[in-house]
Amino acid sequence: MTYQKPADLPEKIQLFIDGEFVDAEGGAQFDVIEPVSNEVYTKAASASKADVDRAVAAAKRAFDEGPWPKMLPRERSRILHKVADIVESRDDRLALIESWDSGLPITQAKGQARRAAENFRFFADLIVAEHDNVTKVPGRQINYVNRKPKGVAGLITPWNVPFMQESWKLAPALATGNTVVLKPASYTPLSAALWPEIFREAGVPDGVFNLILGSGGVAGDALVKHPDVPLISFTGDSSTGAMISTNAAPFLKGLSLELGGKSPSVVFADADLEEALDATVFSVFSLNGERCTAGSRVLVERSIYDDFVARYAERAKNIVIGLPSDPATEVGALVHPSHFEKVMSYVEIGKSEGRLVAGGGRPEGFPEGNYVAPTVFADVKPEARIFQEEIFGPVVAITPFDTDEEALQLANDTKYGLAAYVWTSNLKRAHNFAHGIESGMVWLNSNNVRDLRTPFGGVKASGLGREGGYRSVDFYTTAQSIQITLNEAHSPRFGAGK
């Protein structure tokens, strides 16, 4: 099995601060590996607290003294459209790098590159069309909203589909006039290192975008606790999100936390079973199963349960496993050996908690690298760990139900509440069931296809706050209320005597 290394990979990945590529303090670095062979292919600068301080100082200076926050929305919009144009023009290269760095199948990586461009185009248009309410009391006063950027935005992004996830935060933060410090995941720094040149070519001023690399415990923690960073947008696991919330609390920072998920896919007997199969298989095995909105619990009405499980298992067994660079590959290698070990530990746990009907270990022909065969467990009880805990890999638990009430109870029976999927031809049931689910998002007879205007986020352990569309504008700006009196103020005359 020969895995061709992309051309022109950097010998080292540097920080980007105030318009310049720089090494970390003292030259500190960490190894970066690719997940097919787990071999080190480059080194990345490992930022210290002092490096984070430098990046924040540059971003604050660009915010306080630079042109970016003061530009007309149309001016910023033109630059962000250029960013989108550049990303689109380089989608093949971006996809190749993303696939190499993360193990994501190349065809799915291309889709993520295109989505990244669309994120910038969407917010470039939104800030030009943005408007706020003006209210009035006839003859007495007018009130209007003055929307202002907050300052330096700290953006902390995960290792799954990293370039797209970075664009998801960068686009609204920059569109609304903030400056940013981006801290990507240490597993996948390669595609993040493409942003400096993209922004420079598009005309983003120096200091507006800054990139720090390194561990969450050092670089991420310093960013969260920095007093000159008024807002943090974080995507990652729930335990880290809880820690960030605690560490940010003394500073009263604005927080947007998009955390883990254990999303249910509920399949009723009256559903279009072929469409439900297509969607539920894709939901958990696309992106190598490393997706927060994966429908990793499939709840199936008992009258169709046995047939559904058999067909599901057959589909899982036929999934194409291969090199991430092969266009035919449907499931590639997991991102990192430590994550591979975590997922494999859950596979072993599942063998005592459910009936293994597909997968269950390494796929045949892949003795090395972070490969896990698409794995399906049936007859999983709600108290099982593989039912309750986020695995974040190509592993699914299938559970039967008898009534709508039982299905809803099972759907809500985890600490998470990010997404849910419901498959039924009964319109009343679809809406009523969706309303009863404890999740931030529900898809009815649909796969995970999201309009960028809609809110994204979860409830319970799946997060805090919402981004997407005008919710992102709300998060990255301060809505200042201005009141104008149209006649005499009529203030009580304290201290004026009789």
CATH number at residue 404: 3.40.309.10
* Cβ-contact 80, 174 below 8 angstroms: yes
Give how many domains the chain has, as a whole number: 2
For 27-38, write each residue's pLDDT tens digit: 999 999 999 999
Amino acid present at 338 = S
The answer to the question of residue 242 being in a domain is: yes
Same domain for 282 and 187: no
Residues 361, 247 share a domain? no
Q: Which helix (H) or strand (E) holds 258?
A: strand 254-258
* CATH, residue 156: 3.40.605.10
Answer yes or no: is 130 within a domain.
Answer: yes
For 173, what's the count of Cα atoms within 13 Å in the CB-facing half-sphere?
Answer: 29
Q: Is the same domain home to 405 and 473?
A: no
Position 1 confidence tier, pLDDT thresholds 50, 70, 90? low
How does pLDDT run across 2-24, given as a tens digit for each residue? 688 898 899 999 999 999 999 99
pLDDT of residue 2: 67
- Provide the H-helix boundaries in 176-207: 195-202
User: pTM value?
Assistant: 0.96
Report d(CA 71, CA 128) in Å as an integer.
12
293 in the same domain as 239: no
**How crowded is residue 110: how many other Cβ atoms within 10 Å of its Cβ?**
19
Q: Are residues 124 and 145 in the same domain?
A: yes
Q: Report the SS3 class of residue 147.
A: strand
Evaluate whether residue 153 is within a structural domain: yes
The crossing angle, in degrees rounded to 10, of helices 91-102 and 162-175 is: 120
Active site residues: 258
Interacting residues of 495 by C-beta distance below 8 A, sequence separation 6+: none
Say yes or no: 226 and 285 in one domain.
no
**Residue 496: inside a domain:** no
- The C-alpha atoms of residue 208 and residue 447 are separated, in whole angstroms, by 36
User: Alpha helices of 229-301 — where are they, by DSSP H?
Assistant: 238-248, 273-285
- Residue 487 counted as domain residue: no
Residue 87: band (very low, low, confident or very high) from pLDDT cuts 50, 70, 90: very high
φ, ψ dihedrals at 450, nearest 5°: -120, 130
Using one digit for the tens of pLDDT, what is the confidence trace for 454-478? 999 999 999 999 999 999 999 999 9
1 is a domain residue: no
The answer on 317 and 426 residing in a single domain is yes
Q: Please check whether residue 269 is in contact with residue 424, taking contact to mean a CB–CB distance below 8 angstroms.
A: no
pLDDT band for position 140 (cuts 50, 70, 90): confident
- Each residue of 337-383: pLDDT tens digit? 999 999 999 999 999 999 999 999 999 999 999 999 999 999 999 99
Distances (CA, A) of 491 to 139, 485, 494, 495: 16, 12, 9, 12
Residue 365 within any structural domain of the chain: yes
Residue 190 located in a structural domain: yes
Q: Are residues 240 and 280 in the same domain?
A: no
Query: What pLDDT was estimated at residue 401?
Result: 98
- The reply to whether 198 and 281 lie within a common domain is no
Rounded distance between C-alpha atoms, residue 479 and residue 367, angstroms: 56
Tell me: do 287 and 252 sit in the same domain. Answer: no
Is the per-residue pLDDT at 498 higher than 80? no
Q: What residue numbers bound the domain in which 108 lies?
A: 12-259+462-482
CB 315, CB 347: distance < 8 Å = no
Regarding whether 316 and 178 lie in a shared domain, the answer is: no
Query: Is there a single domain that holds both residue 31 and residue 47?
Result: yes
